[in-house]
């Protein structure tokens, strides 16, 4: 039996969908159904049981999880603009700590979502070398909450038993509930469809022209394949980057959206809100050597092909995984 927290959310529901495709419906889904799109994600899945997040925590605290062989902990507050650090500590740190301790006690695999937000402005690079964890300086409370759990696991020597995945900019079907945290692929698709143009933030650094800020974008199907690699290969423990290893400009992302819609590009550059200017990442790119050395040699989807698949197979017809 496999537990997936955040199982009605973006990455969690996509993991469940792929496990269903493999023929595995012996799943426990844990989430908070606070958005109708989450319910729609859940409705497409086959699973044994659903638990509200708080109810499942009670089971974990009592170790009432007979038969659970693995926990994919994808559930957390993922808002990079959340400022309530008490809320983030409770949801992203304390909850994760209790589930990890439970997994260790019941001898279950624990694969959890960390984040590329832990790398901050990239001044210390994007290398998932665990010896450098203490040097990272996240730019926002969300990133700090993820960093704090990584550090807690390291300080207690638990990274020999747990697997933490630093997801970069994941996009694709089943993210429809994420509101302002939806990927720019989805936001841009809607903007282009409704107004004929896509709005991107201006640059406030002279070394980056408008729209030339870059991100490591990863299609959800690749993110799931990489995540399940660690389930299929239990020897791979510790912290790993989950990205494409390619830095792509926002301008290119916008152009690929227009190409998928068969429209001419029309990009508008807008002011970045003052509240996020000091927290904005101008460059992210995952170092991928560690995950490759672990044996994960997947052929990843290019940004152009990933956007084309997302727009044409899911957004235009209104589909979701699986």
Task: Show which residues are catalytic.
Answer: 142, 178
Measure the CA–CA gap between 261 and 26, rounded to whole angstroms: 38
Measure the CA–CA gap between 248 and 251, rounded to whole angstroms: 8
Residue 27 β-bridge partners = 2
Look up residue 117 and give its two tokens: 């937000």
Residue 19 β-bridge partners = none
Output the CA–CA distances (angstroms, integers) from residue 94 to 130, 206, 308, in the order listed. Answer: 21, 41, 39
Measure the CA–CA gap between 169 and 243, rounded to whole angstroms: 7
Output the CA–CA distances (angstroms, integers) from residue 284 to 52, 58, 120, 241, in the order listed. Answer: 34, 38, 9, 12
Of 95, 66, 74, 62, whose CA–CA distance to 4 is shortest?
74
Measure the CA–CA gap between 53 and 63, rounded to whole angstroms: 15
Burial class of 58 by CB neighbour count within 10 A (0 to 12, 13 to 18, 19+) = exposed
Q: Given the structure tokens 């299609």, which residue do they identify?
A: 219
Look up residue 27 and give its two tokens: 């799943």
Half-sphere exposure (Cβ direction) of 187: Cα atoms closer than 13 Å: 12
SS3 state of residue 182: coil
Angle at 149 between CA 145 and CA 150, to 5 degrees: 115
**104 neighbors 161 (Cβ within 8 angstroms):** yes
Of 216, 181, 187, 215, whose CA–CA distance to 78 is shortest?
181
């Amino acid at each position: 039996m496999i537990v997936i927290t955040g199982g009605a959310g973006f990455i969690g529901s996509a993991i469940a969908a792929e496990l269903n495709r493999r023929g595995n419906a012996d799943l426990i889904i844990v989430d908070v159904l606070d958005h109708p799109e989450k319910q729609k994600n859940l409705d497409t899945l086959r699973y044994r049981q659903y638990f509200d997040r708080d109810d499942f925590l009670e089971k974990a605290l009592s170790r009432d999880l007979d038969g659970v062989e693995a926990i994919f902990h994808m559930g957390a507050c993922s808002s990079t603009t959340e400022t309530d650090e008490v809320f983030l500590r409770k949801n992203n740190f304390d909850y994760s700590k209790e589930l990890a301790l439970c997994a260790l006690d019941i001898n279950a695999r624990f694969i959890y979502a960390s984040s590329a937000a832990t790398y901050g402005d990239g001044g210390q690079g994007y290398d998932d070398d665990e010896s450098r964890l203490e040097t990272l300086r996240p730019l926002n409370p969300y990133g700090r909450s993820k960093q704090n759990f990584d550090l807690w696991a390291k300080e207690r020597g638990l990274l020999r038993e747990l697997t933490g995945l630093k997801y970069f900019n994941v996009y694709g079907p089943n993210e429809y509930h994420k509101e302002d945290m939806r990927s720019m692929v989805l936001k841009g698709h809607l903007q282009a469809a409704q107004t004929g143009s896509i709005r991107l933030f201006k640059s406030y650094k002279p070394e980056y022209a408008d729209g030339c800020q870059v991100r490591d974008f990863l299609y959800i199907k690749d993110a799931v394949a990489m995540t399940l690699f660690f389930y299929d290969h239990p020897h791979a423990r510790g912290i790993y980057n989950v990205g494409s290893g390619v830095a792509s400009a926002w301008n290119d992302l916008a152009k690929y959206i227009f190409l998928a819609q068969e429209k001419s590009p029309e990009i508008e550059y807008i002011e970045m809100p003052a509240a996020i200017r000091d927290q904005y990442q101008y460059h992210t790119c995952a170092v991928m050597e560690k995950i490759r050395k672990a044996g994960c040699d997947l052929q990843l989807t290019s940004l152009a092909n990933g956007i084309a698949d997302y727009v044409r197979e899911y957004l235009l017809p209104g589909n979701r995984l699986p």
